[in-house]
Structure 1
Amino acid sequence: MTDDIILKAEDISKQYRLGQVGTGTLSHDLNRWWHSIRGKEDPYLKIGDVNNRAIKGQSDYVWALKDINFEVRRGEVLGIIGKNGAGKSTLLKILSKVTSPTTGVIKSKGRIASLLEVGTGFNPELTGRENIFLNGAILGMTKKEISSKIAEIIDFSGCERYIDTPTKRYSSGMTVRLAFAVAAFLEPEILVIDEVLAVGDAEFQKKAIGKMQDISRQGGRTVLFVSHNMAAVKSLCTRGIVLENGMVSFQGNIDEALEIYNSSSDSTSSKISWLPEEAPGNSNAKIAAIRFYKESDLFYIEDDIALEVDFWNFCDNQTLNVSVSIHSSNEVYIMSSPNLNRIPLKAGKYKSVCTIPKDFLNTGKYYFSILLVGDNFEIISQLDKIVSIELNERGDHRADYFGHWSGVVRPYLTWENSIIETL
């Protein structure tokens, strides 16, 4: 490896056997041994299904990972994203040396600290303070080195009151706070973080992301980050890898990685409708249809956009209203808007229309969640990211500027120029 490459994965594959552990494995082990002493390849490396949860396989073996190759530079923050079951956690376990690959090799320089599951590396019978020293020793640090960092670790974790209590009495949030603080402050050259941060509260997640940014930018250390929080991935990572069915489908710029991930997992459209017996809701009310009204095939930011929601009201004098929430393609929550016209309705079918004003949203893809709310603010139906639209622009307000405008909103504000004095 060159000096600036700190981690390298070469042809990494991981195969697992399905079914109950131990069923038929002795015959397979003997078969492997027989091939080995004759200098032949493992016969089970040639079989196995692709890691796709959506289809029924024909083999007892599955490739959780297949032919993974990438390099990570010193000080880089790499985001690893993909659907559930794509192989993200398996890859991190291999990188952290928790498990070994079936084929391939991992080359790394320096210490690797990992936070893969709540309580990973902690002995529940030991206190928080004792677990800090235990984890530091595992990383190869001396007692003096650990002691010099322990005050910062305890302060960052917010667990000072409970630091001399056995960790088996910690909540999952407290455990992950202390585990992250240990992993971050004991100065490993490579920090590996799985989705576990989602267990912490919003305040701690913000602190943790800020700390990871600091250790990569100022400390020059490398971070590998797995998360389904695309906003956190975008703000933290400089480069991304997209895993699909255990294989790398893309690696490169983080914005491109997020765009590819969202497009591959997107099954929404600009309209959807249901038959009465299949419609989301309950015996009081149901949503019948959701659609964006348009006269052309394209949506433009310079036009008003009408979102229409049809619903059935099955009860006389019931108060119903619709609420909409908007997210960008990289998981940024933009806004929500409820219909505050809470008037009792007669039984019947109704249409509620929300108009998104022109020159408000920027270009890009947006996802819309719909709530149908009844009396006493009871949620009758909640449909997350049920429809989506792609916004384009005609360029009405661009004049001679052709560059990209950043941001999720792009209102066309009114400007006036006036002279103060002549020179």
Structure 2
Amino acid sequence: MSKDIILKAENISKQYRLGQVGTGTLSHDLNRWWHQVRGKENPYLKIGDTNDRSTKGESDYVWALQNINFEVERGEVLGIIGKNGAGKSTLLKILSKVTAPTTGSIKFGGRIASLLEVGTGFHGEMTGRENIFLNGAILGMTKKEIASKLDEIIDFSGCERYIDTPVKRYSSGMYVRLAFAVAAFLDPEILIIDEVLAVGDAEFQKKAIGKMQDISRIGGRTVLFVSHNMAAIKQLCTKIIMLENGSVIFEGNTNDGIDYYLKSNQYQGYIGNYVNETIEESGFVNLALLDSNNAVRTEYGFDETVTLKIKVKVAEQHLNAHIGFRVVDRNERVIFTSEIKLATAINNSGLHEFEVKLPVKFLVPNKFRLTFGMHIPNVQLIDYQEECLSFEIVETGSDLHIYSGNDYGCVFVDCDWNLIKKT
């Protein structure tokens, strides 16, 4: 291993048998053993479905991970992203030595500290102080080394008042504060963090990200960070790998990785395209949500342009109609409505296509649904497509991230601020 490479994963795969504890049945275990003593390959490595939780498989075996290869340099912060069920947590458990890979190997160049789940390694009956020493010992620290860091750990966690109280009485937020402080301050060469920071409040998340930056930039430590928070990924990570169905589908710099993630996130339940080509007289033929590259999308960054493509069929008798849309958020709040009188834009019947760009940096991070209507005001409702498109605005590290953890309101308005008096 190169002196600059602190972690190297080679051909990592993990296979599970559905519905079974352990490797499977006794007959399968005996079959594996018989192949092994004869120097032959495990017969069950050639079967198994990919890790796609949305489909029904044909095999009892599933590959949670398949052929994962990557290297991490000393001092690098690697972001591991992907949808739920992509294999991120399985990979971290293998890297943390909680479970072993089915195939492949991992080479480490230093001591590892992991924070995979709230309270991992904590004993509920022991106090916070006692758990600090317990976790430190698990990480291979001496009692003297732990004692020298004790005050810093307690101060950072913000749990000083309850440090001599059994941790079973801690809230989940207090748990993660103390667990993170232990993992971060006991100087591991490699720090592995799962999505547990989502449990903490905004103030603690800010402290934790700052600490991880210090660990990597000042201390020269390596951090592996799994999160769905693209703002935290952008702020912290120097490199990204993205998993999908147990395989690496992207590896590269942070900005390109976040862009790839947003473009690939067509979540089930999110609709980016509506088509109805059976319209006889007037109505909506095609409605779509597009990005700046004219690709159908359902997830956008706060500072990205969201474009609506509206293809409508208009009969002669409906040239005086209006078409428009309404945006509603996940709390059923109507955010705004926009419409146009067709006669101001067209003068003949037939198929017409409109492009509408939503204001940039206007809709704050939230989930939204779109309803479209075609009507002659107070006379006739010609076509009405309720909540036929949906999308999400996510924070990806724009200026808006300084308000993280606070209520954004419905929209973010860039008002004109004119200085009229200077003293």
TM-score by length of 1: 0.70
Q: Hey, what does 2:177 align to over in structure 1?
A: 177
Q: What SS is found at the alignment partner of 1:27? A: helix
Q: What SS is found at the alignment partner of 2:56? A: coil
Deviations 1:58-98 (A, max 9, x none): 11111100000000001100000011111000000000111
Q: Which runs of 5+ in 1 are unaligned?
A: 275-287, 309-321, 327-335, 340-351, 373-381, 390-405, 416-423
Deviations 1:240-266 (A, max 9, x none): 000010000010111111111111113
Map 1:60-209; keep pairs closer than 5 Å: 60-209=60-209
Structure 1: how far apart are the matches of 2:199 and 2:388? 21
Q: What SS is found at the alignment partner of 2:188? A: coil
CA shift in 2, pair 1:305/1:226, >3 Å: closer
CA shift in 2, pair 1:115/1:13, >3 Å: same
Deviations 1:14-52 (A, max 9, x none): 010111437961111111111111111111111111111
Structure 1: how far apart are the matches of 2:289 and 2:101? 52
The alignment status of 1:244 with 2:256, answered yes or no, reads no
Q: Hey, what does 2:390 align to over in structure 1?
A: 386
Give runs of ≥4 in structure 1 deviating > 3 Å.
267-274, 288-294, 303-308, 322-326, 336-339, 357-360, 382-385, 406-415
CA shift in 2, pair 1:388/1:62, >3 Å: closer
Identical residues among aligned pairs (%): 67
* 8 A contact 1:153–1:178 mirrored in 2: yes
Q: What SS is found at the alignment partner of 1:33? A: helix
Deviations 1:296-341 (A, max 9, x none): x979x9x998999xxxxxxxxxxxxx76679xxxxxxxxx9945xx
Q: What SS is found at the alignment partner of 1:152? A: helix
2:71 partner letter: E
Deviations 1:400-419 (A, max 9, x none): xxxxxx9789989999xxxx
CA shift in 2, pair 1:270/1:96, >3 Å: closer
Structure 1: how far apart are the matches of 2:391 and 2:358? 21
CA shift in 2, pair 1:42/1:201, >3 Å: same
1:360 positional shift = 6.1
Question: Over aligned residues, Cα RMSD in angstroms?
Answer: 4.1
CA shift in 2, pair 1:222/1:147, >3 Å: same
Of the candidates 326, 338, 342, which is equivalent to residue 353 of structure 1? 338
CA shift in 2, pair 1:265/1:148, >3 Å: same
Q: Hey, what does 1:264 align to over in structure 2?
A: 264
* 8 A contact 1:307–1:353 mirrored in 2: no
Q: Hey, what does 1:17 align to over in structure 2?
A: 17
Deviations 1:334-387 (A, max 9, x none): xx9945xxxxxxxxxxxx3289x999638xxx9862599xxxxxxxxx989924
Q: What SS is found at the alignment partner of 1:84? A: coil
CA shift in 2, pair 1:359/1:64, >3 Å: closer
Q: Hey, what does 1:284 align to over in structure 2?
A: none
Structure 2: how far apart are the matches of 1:384 and 1:258? 27
Structure 2: how far apart are the matches of 1:212 and 1:384? 42
* 8 A contact 2:17–2:23 mirrored in 1: no
* 8 A contact 1:48–1:61 mirrored in 2: yes
Q: What SS is found at the alignment partner of 2:140? A: coil
Deviations 1:135-165 (A, max 9, x none): 1111111111111111010011010011011
1:220 partner letter: G
Structure 1: how far apart are the matches of 2:87 and 2:259? 19
Structure 2: how far apart are the matches of 1:260 and 1:119? 33
Structure 1: how far apart are the matches of 2:227 and 2:36? 40
* 8 A contact 1:271–1:387 mirrored in 2: no
Structure 2: how far apart are the matches of 1:79 and 1:47? 30
CA shift in 2, pair 1:184/1:290, >3 Å: farther
1:54 positional shift = 1.6
Number of residue-to-residue matches in the alignment: 337
1:251 partner letter: E
Structure 1: how far apart are the matches of 2:99 and 2:309? 50
Q: What SS is found at the alignment partner of 2:192? A: strand
CA shift in 2, pair 1:166/1:217, >3 Å: same
2:338 partner letter: V
* 8 A contact 1:369–1:384 mirrored in 2: no
Structure 2: how far apart are the matches of 1:289 and 1:200? 46
* 8 A contact 2:272–2:389 mirrored in 1: no
Q: Hey, what does 1:7 align to over in structure 2?
A: 7
Q: What SS is found at the alignment partner of 1:258? A: helix
* 8 A contact 1:127–1:163 mirrored in 2: yes
CA shift in 2, pair 1:76/1:30, >3 Å: same
Q: Hey, what does 2:352 align to over in structure 1?
A: none
Structure 1: how far apart are the matches of 2:241 and 2:294? 31
CA shift in 2, pair 1:20/1:112, >3 Å: same
Q: Hey, what does 2:224 align to over in structure 1?
A: 224
1:353 partner letter: S
